[in-house]
Structure 1
Amino acid sequence: MYQPNLIARAVWAVCRHQQAGLSRLLAPYRLGGGSYVYLLIIAENPGITQIELSSRLAIDRATVSKMLAILERENLIRRFPHPDDRRSAKLEATPQGMETFDRLARTVTGFRLKMLEGIAPEEQEVTLRTLRKILANIREPGDGESDFFRQ
């Protein structure tokens, strides 16, 4: 039986190396791995609100707000008034944001395929089921419904 510390360290190492690899790939676009996920969700869900984005990422609203300001400053997204709620804004990718997203999607997909080289589909499915269970075990009430396992 594996020890919990070994599994936790392995998960951390995979996350760390994935972030480092994505950061290298995204650096020419002045984006990091974290900001790419924001752009991805906004590009695929035009009109999403900041609150919905925060919930899907399971990240607090203040952190989301800071990242949105960066993406807006880079002209990758724009905010526009919510038609039914004046206190809320909707988000969408700008034409430049969509162009950047389209280019990055191919790069990121290639990187993610490299991560899975030599791992059989059955092994990938077992890993995914296990990670879902781990996440369910540690998620706190109110953490939001993350998009982490959406296809």
Structure 2
Amino acid sequence: MTDILRDIGIISRALDSIANIEFKEYDLAKGQYLYLVRIVENPGVIQDRLAEMIKVDRTTAARAIKKLEAKGFIEKRMDNTNKKIKKLFPTEKGQKTFPFIIKEHHYSNEVALKGLTNQEKEQIASLLKRVKENIEDDWNDVKKGKKRTY
């Protein structure tokens, strides 16, 4: 059987590498665009939830958020009811950059799915959703300290 996860990893790294090159002119690097997209789509999201959405640890998310804030793409705002909570919002610069990122995303989707029928596209989407859900369960368990038995 084919090593499906290896192929998924290759696809992911290739698309991430392309995006990092193309987003360099916007001063976005090292996957920062992923964070910006989620913040634009979910204004007011908190850092822990953002890390969970992207499936990275809190330290990695904190570094990316700090860089995006320093570059003026996002801003942190205090929560009105709980001053300990800082919510993340896109700035005007972040909002203006978002459409280009989405255009790149749609283009990459078109390239990746070229030659597939609509039925095949729906099938691969459905199967990948199931794979993602399986991995999310494992990811959550390991993040909570559970050891996997091989």
User: When the two structures are superposed, what TM-score results if normalisation uses the length of structure 1?
Assistant: 0.82
Residues 1:37 and 2:41 are matched in the alignment: no
RMSD of aligned alpha carbons: 2.0
3-state DSSP of counterpart to 1:104: helix
Q: Which has the higher contact order (CA 8 A, sep 6+)?
A: 1
Report what 2:84 is aligned to.
87
What pairs with 1:72-151 in structure 2 (closer than 5 Å)? 72-139=69-136, 140=138, 141-142=140-141
Match of 1:7 among 4, 7, 30: 4
Change (3 A) 1:22 1:96: same
**CA–CA separation in structure 1 for the residues paired with 2:75 and 2:142:** 26
Report what 2:64 is aligned to.
67
Q: Structure 2: which amino acid aligns with 1:92?
A: F
**CA–CA separation in structure 2 for the residues paired with 1:85 and 1:143:** 30
Equivalences, count: 141
Kindly state the Cα deviation for residue 109 of structure 1 after the two structures are TM-superposed: 2.0
Q: Which moved more, 1:91-100 or 1:49-58?
A: 49-58
Change (3 A) 1:128 1:33: farther
**CA–CA separation in structure 1 for the residues paired with 2:133 and 2:57:** 19
**CA–CA separation in structure 2 for the residues paired with 1:45 and 1:100:** 15
Identity %: 25
User: When the two structures are superposed, what TM-score results if normalisation uses the length of structure 2?
Assistant: 0.83
Residues 1:19 and 2:23 are matched in the alignment: no
**CA–CA separation in structure 2 for the residues paired with 1:143 and 1:69:** 26
**CA–CA separation in structure 2 for the residues paired with 1:103 and 1:9:** 29
- What is the CA deviation profile of residues 109-147 of structure 1, one whole-angstrom value per residue up to 9, with x for unaligned ones? 223222222121211121122222223333323579xxx
Kindly state the Cα deviation for residue 63 of structure 1 after the two structures are TM-superposed: 1.1
3-state DSSP of counterpart to 1:87: coil
Q: Which moved more, 1:65-74 or 1:129-138?
A: 129-138
Kindly state the Cα deviation for residue 27 of structure 1 after the two structures are TM-superposed: 1.6
Is the contact between residue 19 and residue 104 of structure 2 (CA under 8 Å) also seen in structure 1? no
**CA–CA separation in structure 2 for the residues paired with 1:21 and 1:100:** 17
